[in-house]
Amino acid sequence: MAIRCVIVDDSERFRTSARRLLTTQGISVVADACDSGQALQAVEEQDPDVVLVDVGLGRESGFDLAARIESTAVIMISSLAPDDILELVGHSRAIGFLPKDQLSGCAITQMLKQPQEM
């Protein structure tokens, strides 16, 4: 069964290209959103396995959104250098971080398989 995913990013161009990429790699993108409101609605309606959340959502913080998503795994994504945000990711409820240029179905699958610290 395919992993069900929601993509949250303020760039429509990125959401479209990420959807295309992940779909060809066996990930089922069930929704995408440009802000926290749309994202929370999509998560409630679609019950995905994972939500990809951009660190910067325009005027919003992706970390604030990640804190509000309680029942689903969250992976933070960004075009920022990992060294600039890994500490923030470590203090968030996200299960990990993927640079946007390394986004792939395989990377998402591997992150979801890793045991999570509680």
Residue 104 maps to a domain: yes
CATH code, domain with 41:
3.40.50.2300
The count of domains in the chain is: 1
In angstroms, the first-to-last Cα distance of the chain is 26
Residue 47 maps to a domain: yes
What pLDDT shows up at residue 116? Answer: 60
Residue 117 maps to a domain: no
Residue 56 maps to a domain: yes
Query: Identity (one letter) of the amino acid at 8?
Result: V
Residue 85 maps to a domain: yes
Residue listed under structure tokens 């960004």: 78
- Please state the pTM of the whole predicted model: 0.93
pLDDT tens sequence for the chain (118 residues): 789 999 999 999 999 999 999 999 999 999 999 999 999 999 999 999 999 999 999 888 999 999 999 889 999 999 887 777 888 888 888 999 999 999 999 999 999 998 665 4
Residue listed under structure tokens 């998503």: 69
Which region holds residue 30: left if phi is over 0, alpha if psi is between -120 and 50, else beta?
alpha
